[in-house]
């Protein structure tokens, strides 16, 4: 409308979106700009007669897609920085100036003269809206579409934030507000117009308000002498508004969220920062009832509570439950799945890697549950042979899990447990299963005959009888809350059994038969407590004793070392966990050492039966199929342990000072944990571990520096706060029960890290301790 | 934890509760300070160790306890001759191969409870080896006088199923240095309280014997913020 002359772009911000529909796919990215037109322009003026100086400024929004070659200039302006006066003038093509907004379909770009803007409705990011927004209302009464500030994508806002970080070291602490794009817009406008926050609605900012407007919406009359217009006293107006403090303040809670997310973007985050601060905040949070805060500060009083074993364990649990509750509330109130994922990730504080590697959409896609049709699509329709790589299948299962209801587990678990070879055809599998069924019947007949005919030595028979009793005892106390195993609807087949009076059900009897058959199949090992826990989910999924038996055998091939008479397998894993914590979280390790807890015995149950007692039934199934993939490591279950430990590390370090307290606390986590966040955390920890090993290996390729080795940050602080140097801590534990390696390792804390064979084994995808798979 | 002697300060009466605001006179706490005792329950799997512990501490019985894996404990405060004793009762897995990792709990025990099922002779025959195992692993300073208590559980089961007579059990206990013997039903709460009272007394006596020997002769500082300390009773 105004000739072809270029106009000057004063201020610009990228990644300001219009959200035409509720679907994020339809979002339109664009620039918001403050533009100065040549003073000569005669404006199609409905401009306010009292303000002749302003019409030449326009507030504009233009979609990226419509910019064409001007795009580069826009980006330059956006990145020109925060200087109050641009050193350079940037000229851009003029934009169509409008004062009304009528065409929501075609016309998204607009430029509104400042003089025509009546007010801005500014909504900072809040719990309901992840993105802050701004709506322009004109004097003509039109509202323009809301502009959403995607600050995390906007380079200039990120730069601004960085600058503020440099200036203040804490961009988030100022008056509980976080810098966001809307603040910046208001700051721009203040240079060229009077901006006054409405006293009536704090989200409304009046632009060049008239006296009447001020009377109706502006600052309260008592606030000052209204006869002096704010415009005439720009200094005073500015001072009273304190423009350096962003006005559109966020809810402090939202601030924490944004802050965390911000840190992810910045890759500054350490795994500890979020949770540590959260824990501290709980103790000092004025919103927590005073009696509860007193409890936090006065643990002695808590000991009156008899039902808890120690004040600290109780308080630790309590602190964690408060933190988790607020996590949950937060998750429940933030809506898109996208945000959920980001939340989950950022609260761990260590997810930059995942984010960067996969992109969020990819991640979400990969976490989709694998259902039967997709599974069947992996196989050739006629031959039944796998058409994609095993790695691809495992990746899908690792990240997505299998559908719990559509029967895909019945099939897929047989591959994961290596009953079926991955390269088999449908025909192969049918033949294989037929012969497996025969073999199961044969094995079962082995002990059946012994029971009936008793044709063995009395010693053998006694042992077998003992095993039978043990199996029966355990089957009757395994997963009885699961409907499948709950009933007692048939009389016991053996009147001499201790359970003869209580009755049984067909599935319990099947469980006994399978375990007795395994006892026969693997006589060196026999039945050991815990095996019934491992079999129950497999049987529940297969619901066919012969199939379940062979799947169980496959599972036992990798679990056997947990049950060895000398417990060497369990010791080895506890030692590996010890080494892992030492490498990944030395501070926590020192604390555990001071608490005589580096035997890691409190993970015994979790490792022995793969968290069967810790998670919900349905989560156990999901966890096991994840672990069976060996996608990252055949020892991924140790990273689950590490993830659990890391989640609770601050509580442990703040509250738990003795082995019994740690053990009690960890034992009581049972059935309180959500699996998926732990899986995500474990994955991230694995990647961090892998990178650490690589980094250390690389460093080892160079000759050692002659000077003293650098002390790890945090060590000195930690030791002073604990009152023990690493050496002292090590000596303290040497008289205790810690593993043999801990003394040496802790003394060497300042020396270069060496990757122990136990740790290196954690990078393997095969199962080093497994015997030849039984065929 | 090992040989650490544990005291969890517990503020009992209202006037003492008020006293927590400032440092109370040491004397009051010495008078009321409870002892912290550690008790370990051993025995074959399925004899009812977990049930006994829960019946004693929580006054509850459930037929659906899962097999214990690893170890766990419960604590209970009891008054023994006007002295408050806080008992930490450790429950362990029954299958013998899991005991090798449980050494941590053996050490520092003040009393060891050996449990068998009166309807299961095998579990009775195992008592001797459980006792030996404990003495080897825990290596108390005076194995001869270390307090054990034997419990024959599940006396609620019908009489004709019973495998071990009271007489046989008592003979065994006598031969091992007059170990106190109880027959209980964790299911029906028979004799459980009585058995644990003796267990508490035995544990307390054990502490006094050790203290007499001067092992813990250091002066003991008691502060509220130092919630674990030597036992001053």
A309–B71: do the CB atoms touch at under 8 Å? Answer: no
Q: Which residues of B touch A461 (CB under 8 A)?
A: none
For A624-644, give one letter per residue: b (16+ CB within 10 A) or e. bbbbbbbbbbbbbbbbbbbbb
Alpha-carbon distance A602 to A608, whole Å? 11
Phi, psi of A254 (to 5 degrees): -60, -35
pLDDT band at A203 (very low <50, low <70, confident <90, very high): confident
Per DSSP bridges, beta strands A195-197 and A204-207 are antiparallel
Of A300, A469, A498, the CB nearest to B224: A300
The mean per-residue pLDDT over the stretch A43-59 comes to 53
Beta bridge partners of A205: A120, A197
Q: Which residue has the higher pLDDT, A296 or A70?
A: A70
- The 10s digit of each residue's pLDDT in A329-340 is 444 433 333 333
| Selected residue of B51, B104, B105 to mutate for chain A interface (largest A Cβ count, 10 A) | B104
The alpha carbon dihedral of A582, A583, A585, A590 has a sign of positive
Q: Is the pLDDT of residue A547 over 80?
A: yes
Q: Is the pLDDT of residue A326 over 70?
A: no
B73–A310: do the CB atoms touch at under 8 Å? Answer: no
A529–B119: do the CB atoms touch at under 8 Å? Answer: no
Query: Does the CB of B100 have a partner CB in chain A at under 8 Å?
Result: yes
Phi, psi of B6 (to 5 degrees): -110, 135
The mean per-residue pLDDT over the stretch A744-764 comes to 69
pLDDT band at A546 (very low <50, low <70, confident <90, very high): very high
Phi, psi of A10 (to 5 degrees): -85, -45
Query: Does the CB of A599 have a partner CB in chain B at under 8 Å?
Result: yes
Query: Does the CB of B17 have a partner CB in chain A at under 8 Å?
Result: yes
Across A41-55, A355-369, A641-655, which has the greatest mean pLDDT?
Answer: A641-655
Query: Does the CB of B223 have a partner CB in chain A at under 8 Å?
Result: no
Alpha helix positions (H), A668-768: 675-700, 715-722, 726-734, 740-747, 757-761
Distance between start and end Cα atoms, chain B: 20
Q: Is the pLDDT of residue A440 over 80?
A: yes
Q: Which residues of B touch A529 (CB under 8 A)?
A: 45, 67, 69, 93-95, 98
Beta bridge partners of A757: none
- The 10s digit of each residue's pLDDT in B52-107 is 999 999 999 988 789 999 999 999 999 888 888 899 999 988 887 887 766 777 88
> What would the two tokens of residue A239 be?
């001072």
Alpha-carbon distance A102 to A80, whole Å? 33
Is-contact A548 A539, C-beta < 8 A?
A: yes
Of A528, A567, A613, the CB nearest to B101: A567
B157 CA: distance to closest CA in chain A (Å):
9
pLDDT band at A69 (very low <50, low <70, confident <90, very high): low
Query: Does the CB of B79 have a partner CB in chain A at under 8 Å?
Result: no
> What would the two tokens of residue A296 be?
């936090």
> What would the two tokens of residue A6 be?
């270029």
Q: What pLDDT is stored for residue B109 in this prediction?
A: 92
Beta bridge partners of A110: A61
Q: What pLDDT is stored for residue A193 in this prediction?
A: 82
Query: Does the CB of B122 have a partner CB in chain A at under 8 Å?
Result: yes
> What would the two tokens of residue B228 be?
């674990």
Alpha-carbon distance A373 to A95, whole Å? 52
A15 CA: distance to closest CA in chain B (Å):
54
> What would the two tokens of residue A202 be?
């704090």
Alpha-carbon distance A586 to A277, whole Å? 19
| Closest residue in chain B to residue A308, using alpha carbons only | B75
A193 CA: distance to closest CA in chain B (Å):
59
- The 10s digit of each residue's pLDDT in A579-624 is 999 999 999 999 999 998 988 999 999 999 999 999 999 999 999 9
Q: Which residue has the higher pLDDT, A57 or B213?
A: A57
Across A227-236, B46-55, B154-163, which has the greatest mean pLDDT?
Answer: B46-55
Q: Is the pLDDT of residue A378 over 60?
A: yes
What is the percent of chain B where pLDDT is above 90?
52
A202, A208, A214, A220: CA torsion to nearest 10? 50
Q: Which residues of B touch A609 (CB under 8 A)?
A: 69
Q: Which residues of B touch A736 (CB under 8 A)?
A: 1-2
> What would the two tokens of residue A761 be?
């084994």
Q: Is A408 helix (H, G, I), strand (E, B) or coil?
A: helix
The mean per-residue pLDDT over the stretch A39-65 comes to 58
Q: Is the pLDDT of residue A458 over 70?
A: yes
Of B69, B119, B228, the CB nearest to A529: B69
Across A245-259, A501-515, A709-723, A728-742, which has the greatest mean pLDDT?
Answer: A501-515
Q: Which residue has the higher pLDDT, A479 or B1?
A: A479
Q: What pLDDT is stored for residue A139 in this prediction?
A: 78
How many alpha carbons fall within 13 Å on the CB side of residue A296? 20
Alpha helix positions (H), A63-176: 70-79, 155-168
B59 CA: distance to closest CA in chain A (Å):
12
ipTM of the prediction greater than 0.85, yes or no: no
CATH 1.10.8.270 fits A425-560, yes or no: yes
Alpha helix positions (H), A701-725: 715-722
Find the helix or strand (DSSP H, E) in which A147 lies: strand A147-149
A297 to A322, A323, A346, A665: CA distances (angstroms): 16, 17, 29, 20
Query: Does the CB of B70 have a partner CB in chain A at under 8 Å?
Result: yes
Per DSSP bridges, beta strands A90-92 and A7-18 are antiparallel
Picking from B146, B121, B151, the residue whose alpha carbon sits closest to that of residue B49 is B151
Picking from B111, B115, B119, B130, the residue whose alpha carbon sits closest to that of residue B52 is B115
Q: Which residues of B touch A306 (CB under 8 A)?
A: 77
Q: What pLDDT is stored for residue B219 in this prediction?
A: 39
Alpha-carbon distance A143 to A112, whole Å? 11
Cβ atoms within 10 Å, residue A619: 19
Picking from A479, A483, A453, A450, the residue whose alpha carbon sits closest to that of residue A467 is A450
A658–B93: do the CB atoms touch at under 8 Å? Answer: no
Picking from B156, B139, B162, the residue whose alpha carbon sits closest to that of residue B52 is B156
Phi, psi of A569 (to 5 degrees): -65, -45
Tell me the residues of chain B between 155 and 184 that have a Cβ less than 8 Å away from chain A: 157, 161
Picking from B140, B125, B142, B116, the residue whose alpha carbon sits closest to that of residue B41 is B116
B70–A570: do the CB atoms touch at under 8 Å? Answer: no
Please, where in chain A does CATH 1.10.8.270 lie? 425-560
Picking from A519, A596, A595, the residue whose alpha carbon sits closest to that of residue A563 is A519
Query: Does the CB of B136 have a partner CB in chain A at under 8 Å?
Result: no
pLDDT band at A20 (very low <50, low <70, confident <90, very high): confident
Q: Which residues of A touch B228 (CB under 8 A)?
A: 657-658
Query: Does the CB of A596 have a partner CB in chain B at under 8 Å?
Result: yes
Residue with tokens 């004397």: B27
The mean per-residue pLDDT over the stretch A711-739 comes to 38
Of B11, B66, B97, the CB nearest to A304: B11
Query: Does the CB of A225 have a partner CB in chain B at under 8 Å?
Result: no
Alpha-carbon distance A131 to A747, whole Å? 50
The mean per-residue pLDDT over the stretch A302-316 comes to 45
Query: Does the CB of A458 have a partner CB in chain B at under 8 Å?
Result: no
What is the percent of chain A where pLDDT is above 70?
59
| Closest residue in chain B to residue A660, using alpha carbons only | B1
Picking from B179, B154, B159, the residue whose alpha carbon sits closest to that of residue B169 is B179
| Closest residue in chain B to residue A608, using alpha carbons only | B69
Of B9, B63, B104, the CB nearest to A303: B9
Distance between start and end Cα atoms, chain A: 82
Query: Does the CB of B59 have a partner CB in chain A at under 8 Å?
Result: no
């Amino acid at each position: 409308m105004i000739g072809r002359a270029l106009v000057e772009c004063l201020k610009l911000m990228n990644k300001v979106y219009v959200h035409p529909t509720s679907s994020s796919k339809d979002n339109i990215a664009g620039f918001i700009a403050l533009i100065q037109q040549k003073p000569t322009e005669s404006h199609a003026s409905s401009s306010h007669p009292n303000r002749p100086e302003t019409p030449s400024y326009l507030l504009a929004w233009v979609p990226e897609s419509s910019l064409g070659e001007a795009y580069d200039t826009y980006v330059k302006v956006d990145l020109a920085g925060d200087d109050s006066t641009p050193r350079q003038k940037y000229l851009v093509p003029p934009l169509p100036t409008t004062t009304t907004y009528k065409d929501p379909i075609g016309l998204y770009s607009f430029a509104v003269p400042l003089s025509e803007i009546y007010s801005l409705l500014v909504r900072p990011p809040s719990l309901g809206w992840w993105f802050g927004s701004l709506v322009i209302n004109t004097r003509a009464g039109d509202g323009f579409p809301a502009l959403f500030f995607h600050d995390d994508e906007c380079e200039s806002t990120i730069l601004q934030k960085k600058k503020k970080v440099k200036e203040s070291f804490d961009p988030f602490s100022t008056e509980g507000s976080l810098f966001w794009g809307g603040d910046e817009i208001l700051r721009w406008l203040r240079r060229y117009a009077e901006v006054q926050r409405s006293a009536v609605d704090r989200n409304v900012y009046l632009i060049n308000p008239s006296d009447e407007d001020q009377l109706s919406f502006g600052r309260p009359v008592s606030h000052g002498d209204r006869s002096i217009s704010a415009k005439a006293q720009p200094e005073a107006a500015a001072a009273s508004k304190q423009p350096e403090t962003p006005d559109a303040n966020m809810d402090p809670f939202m601030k924490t969220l944004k802050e965390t997310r911000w840190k992810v973007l910045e890759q500054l985050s350490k795994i500890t920062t979020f949770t540590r601060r959260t824990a501290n905040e709980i103790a000092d949070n004025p919103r927590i009832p005073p009696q509860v805060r007193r409890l936090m500060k006065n643990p002695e009083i808590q000991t009156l509570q008899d039902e808890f074993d120690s004040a600290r364990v109780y308080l630790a649990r309590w602190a964690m439950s408060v933190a988790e509750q607020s996590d949950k509330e937060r998750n429940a109130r933030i809506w898109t799945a996208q945000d959920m994922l980001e939340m989950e990730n950022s609260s761990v504080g260590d997810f930059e890697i995942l984010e960067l590697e996969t992109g969020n959409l990819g991640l979400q896609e990969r976490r989709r549950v694998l259902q039967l049709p997709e599974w069947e699509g992996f196989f050739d329709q006629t031959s039944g042979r796998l058409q994609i790589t095993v790695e691809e299948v495992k990746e899908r299962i690792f990240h997505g899990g299998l559908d719990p209801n559509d029967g895909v587990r019945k099939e897929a678990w047989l591959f994961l447990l290596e009953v079926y070879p991955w390269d088999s055809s449908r025909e192969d599998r049918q033949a294989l299963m037929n012969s497996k069924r025969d073999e199961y019947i044969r094995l079962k007949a082995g002990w059946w005959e012994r029971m009936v005919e008793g044709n063995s030595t009395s010693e053998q028979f006694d042992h077998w009888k003992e095993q039978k009793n043990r199996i029966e005892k355990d089957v009757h106390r395994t997963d009885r809350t699961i409907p499948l195993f709950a009933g007692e609807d048939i009389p016991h087949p053996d009147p001499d059994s201790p359970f003869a009076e209580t009755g049984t059900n067909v599935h319990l009897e099947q469980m006994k038969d399978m375990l007795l058959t395994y006892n026969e199949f693997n006589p060196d090992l026999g039945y050991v407590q815990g095996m019934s826990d491992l079999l129950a989910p497999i049987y529940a999924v297969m619901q066919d004793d012969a199939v379940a038996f062979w799947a169980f055998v496959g599972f036992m091939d990798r679990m056997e070392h947990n049950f060895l008479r000398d417990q060497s397998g369990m010791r080895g894993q506890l030692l590996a966990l010890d080494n892992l914590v030492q490498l990944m979280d030395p501070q926590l390790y020192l604390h555990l050492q001071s608490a005589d807890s580096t035997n890691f015995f409190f993970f015994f149950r979790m490792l022995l039966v793969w968290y069967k007692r810790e998670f919900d039934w349905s989560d156990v199934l999901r966890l096991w199929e994840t672990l069976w993939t060996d996608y990252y490591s055949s020892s991924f279950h140790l990273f689950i342990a590490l993830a659990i430990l890391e989640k609770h590390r601050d509580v442990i370090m703040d509250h738990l000072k003795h082995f019994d307290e740690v053990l009690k606390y960890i034992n009581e986590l049972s059935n309180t944990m959500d699996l998926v966040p732990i899986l995500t955390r474990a994955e991230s920890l694995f990647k961090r571990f892998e990178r650490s090993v690589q980094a250390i290996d690389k460093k080892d390729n160079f000759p050692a520096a002659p000077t003293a080795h650098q002390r790890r940050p945090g060590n000195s602080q930690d030791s002073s706060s604990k009152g023990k140097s690493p050496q002292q801590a090590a000596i303290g534990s040497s008289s205790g029960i810690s593993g043999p390696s801990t003394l040496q390792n802790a003394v060497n804390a300042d020396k270069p890290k060496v990757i122990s064979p136990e740790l290196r084994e954690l990078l393997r995808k095969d199962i080093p301790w497994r015997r030849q798979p039984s065929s | 934890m090992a040989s650490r002697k544990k005291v969890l300060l517990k503020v009992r009466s209202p006037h003492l509760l008020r006293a927590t605001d400032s440092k109370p006179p040491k004397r009051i706490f010495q008078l009321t300070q409870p002892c912290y005792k550690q008790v370990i329950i051993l025995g074959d799997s399925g004899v009812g160790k977990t049930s006994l512990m829960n019946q004693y501490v929580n006054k509850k019985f459930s037929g659906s306890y899962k097999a214990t894996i690893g170890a766990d404990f419960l604590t209970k405060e009891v008054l023994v001759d006007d002295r408050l004793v806080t008992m930490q009762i450790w429950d362990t897995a029954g299958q013998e191969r899991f005991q090798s990792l449980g050494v941590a709990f053996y050490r520092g025990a003040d009393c060891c409870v050996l449990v068998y099922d009166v309807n299961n002779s095998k579990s009775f025959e195992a008592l001797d080896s459980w006792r030996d195992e404990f003495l080897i692993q825990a290596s108390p300073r005076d194995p001869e006088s270390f307090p054990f208590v034997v419990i024959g559980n599940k006396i609620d089961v019908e009489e004709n199923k019973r495998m071990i007579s009271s007489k046989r059990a008592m003979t065994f206990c006598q031969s091992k240095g007059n170990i106190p013997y109880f027959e209980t039903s964790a299911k029906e709460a028979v004799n459980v309280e009585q058995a644990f009272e003796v267990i508490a007394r035995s544990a307390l006596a054990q502490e006094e014997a050790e203290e007499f020997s001067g092992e813990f002769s250091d002066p003991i500082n008691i502060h509220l913020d130092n919630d674990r300390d030597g036992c001053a009773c």
